[in-house]
Copies of this chain bind each other. A is one copy, B any other.
Amino acid sequence: MTVPLSTWNAGAAKDAILDFVQRTCTEGSADAVPGAERVAVFDNDGTLWCEKPMPSQLDFILRRLAKMVEADSSLKDRQPWKAARERDYAWLSRVVAEHYAGDDTNVKTLAAGVVAAFANISVDDFEAASDEFLRTTSHPTLDRTYLECAYAPMVELLAYLRANGFANYIVSGGGRDFMRPISQEVYGIPREGVIGSAVALAYTPDENGGVITRQMAADYLDDGPEKPVRIWTRTGRRPVLAAGNSNGDIDMLHFTQHHDKPSLRLLLLHDDAEREFDYASGAELAVDHAATSGWTLVSMKTDWDRVF
A: residues with CB less than 8 A from B are: 36, 123, 167, 176-177, 180, 184, 190-192, 194, 198, 201-205, 208-210, 212, 225-229, 232-238, 251, 254-259
Cβ contact within 8 Å between B257 and A36: no
Given contacts A167-B192, A194-B236, A210-B251, 11 further A-B contacts (CB under 8 A): A176-B233, A176-B236, A177-B236, A198-B233, A202-B229, A203-B229, A203-B255, A208-B259, A210-B254, A212-B229, A212-B232
**Of the candidates B205, B236, B251, which one forms a contact with A225 in the assembled complex, judged by CB atoms under 8 Å apart?**
B205
Cβ contact within 8 Å between B235 and A191: yes
Cβ contact within 8 Å between A256 and B209: yes
| Nearest neighbor of A257 in chain B, beta-carbon distance | B209
Looking at the assembled complex, report how far the CB atom of A265 sits from the nearest CB atom of chain B, in whole angstroms.
Answer: 11
Known: A205-B225, A228-B203. A192 touches B255 (CB 8 A): no
CA–CA, A234 and B193, complex, Å: 9
Known: A203-B225, A236-B191. A210 touches B255 (CB 8 A): yes
Cβ contact within 8 Å between A209 and B258: yes
Chain B residues contacting A232 (CB-CB under 8 Å) are 123, 201, 212
| Nearest neighbor of A39 in chain B, beta-carbon distance | B192
CA–CA, A203 and B203, complex, Å: 29
Listed by A's residue number, 29 A-B pairs whose Cβ atoms lie within 8 Å are: A36-B184, A36-B190, A167-B192, A176-B233, A176-B236, A180-B236, A191-B235, A191-B236, A191-B237, A192-B192, A192-B235, A192-B236, A192-B237, A194-B236, A198-B233, A201-B232, A202-B225, A203-B227, A203-B228, A203-B251, A205-B225, A208-B257, A208-B259, A209-B254, A210-B254, A210-B255, A212-B228, A212-B229, A212-B232
CA–CA, A257 and B207, complex, Å: 10
| Nearest neighbor of A123 in chain B, beta-carbon distance | B232
4 A-B pairs with the lowest CB-CB distances in the bound complex, closest first: A191-B236, A209-B257, A203-B228, A203-B225
Looking at the assembled complex, report how far the CB atom of A126 sits from the nearest CB atom of chain B, in whole angstroms.
Answer: 11
Looking at the assembled complex, report how far the CB atom of A259 sits from the nearest CB atom of chain B, in whole angstroms.
Answer: 7
CA–CA, A251 and B205, complex, Å: 7
